[in-house]
């Protein structure tokens, strides 16, 4: 636990602050000509890539809900980890609500494409909530892995999948790259906020148990 807390403080906490700042920077600059050029270049690079586009499935609502509920049930039945259950609810569940709220606040129209989605574009839900549930699964998986290399492998796979899910929305033409980038930043910042709460509560609980 101490080693994990140390790594989180040294690496993940500062990165969470950086992504929060980056989100607001994107929010201010995405209507600019320069960011529009980046969006166009990203679509020209990825648009029509069927493999990347197929990764969008991992960010669909039913997949996120199925995996999140399964993780909650596992934490309940096998570990009696009620704070962990709340962790999952706050990341995947409340994170999805936050994404929908942000979309309604900024109501950016989606790119012109034939799928006919009616929701707004900024930030990407697949990028934001996809990262949240994948990182949450990785968080609890890594707790059961003893080796550092195994832990980093789990986090590396989760990060690669989160990147792929986000980029799939550019490949399929459903989002601008700026939507995806903002989704990653918002999702990671929210994940770190919940992780800070969870780690703090775990330390207090262990300290209390030790004193008793």
Residues 64-78 have pLDDT tens digits of 999 999 999 999 998
Instruction: Say what the pTM is.
Output: 0.88
Cα torsion through 129, 132, 137, 140, rounded to 10: -150
- C-alpha span between 94 and 49 (Å, rounded): 31
Distance (Å, whole) CA 11 – CA 14: 6
> Across residues 89-106, what is the average pLDDT?
94
pLDDT at 115 over 60: no
Does residue 195 register a pLDDT over 70? yes
**Res. 79: pLDDT tops 90:** no
- In terms of Cα–Cα distance, which of 185, 180, 163, 175 is closest to 47? 175
Whether 133 and 188 have beta carbons less than 8 Å apart is answered as no
Please check the confidence at residue 112 and state whether its pLDDT lies above 80.
no
Quote the pLDDT of residue 4: 53
114, pLDDT greater than 60: no
- What does the buried/exposed string (b/e) look like for 79-104 if buried means 16 or more CB atoms within 10 Å of the residue's CB? eebeebbbbbbbbbbebbebbeebbe
| Number of other residues whose CB lies within 10 A of the CB of residue 186 | 29
pLDDT of residue 199: 85
Radius of gyration, CA atoms only, the chain: 18
Whole-number pLDDT of residue 206: 67
Domains and CATH numbers, the chain: 2-211 (1.20.144)
The pLDDT-based confidence of 14 (bands split at 50, 70, 90) is: confident
């Amino acid at each position: 636990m101490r080693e994990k807390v140390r790594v989180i403080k040294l690496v993940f906490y500062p990165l969470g602050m950086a992504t929060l700042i980056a989100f607001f920077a994107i929010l201010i600059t995405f209507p600019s000509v320069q960011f529009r050029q980046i969006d166009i270049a990203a679509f020209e690079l990825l648009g029509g890539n069927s493999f990347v586009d197929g990764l969008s499935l991992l960010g669909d609502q039913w997949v996120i809900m199925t995996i999140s509920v399964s993780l909650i049930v596992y934490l309940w039945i096998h570990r009696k980890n009620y704070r962990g259950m709340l962790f999952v609810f706050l990341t995947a569940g409340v994170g999805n609500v936050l994404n929908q709220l942000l979309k309604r606040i900024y109501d950016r129209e989606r790119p012109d494409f034939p799928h006919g989605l009616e929701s707004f574009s900024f930030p990407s839900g697949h990028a934001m909530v996809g990262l949240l549930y994948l990182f949450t699964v990785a968080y609890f998986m890594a707790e059961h892995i003893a080796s550092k290399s195994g832990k980093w492998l789990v986090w590396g796979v989760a990060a690669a999948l989160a990147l792929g899910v986000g980029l799939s929305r550019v490949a399929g033409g459903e989002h601008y790259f700026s939507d995806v980038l903002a989704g990653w930043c918002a999702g990671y910042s929210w994940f770190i906020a919940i992780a800070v709460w969870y780690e703090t509560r775990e330390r207090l609980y262990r300290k209390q148990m030790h004193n008793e």
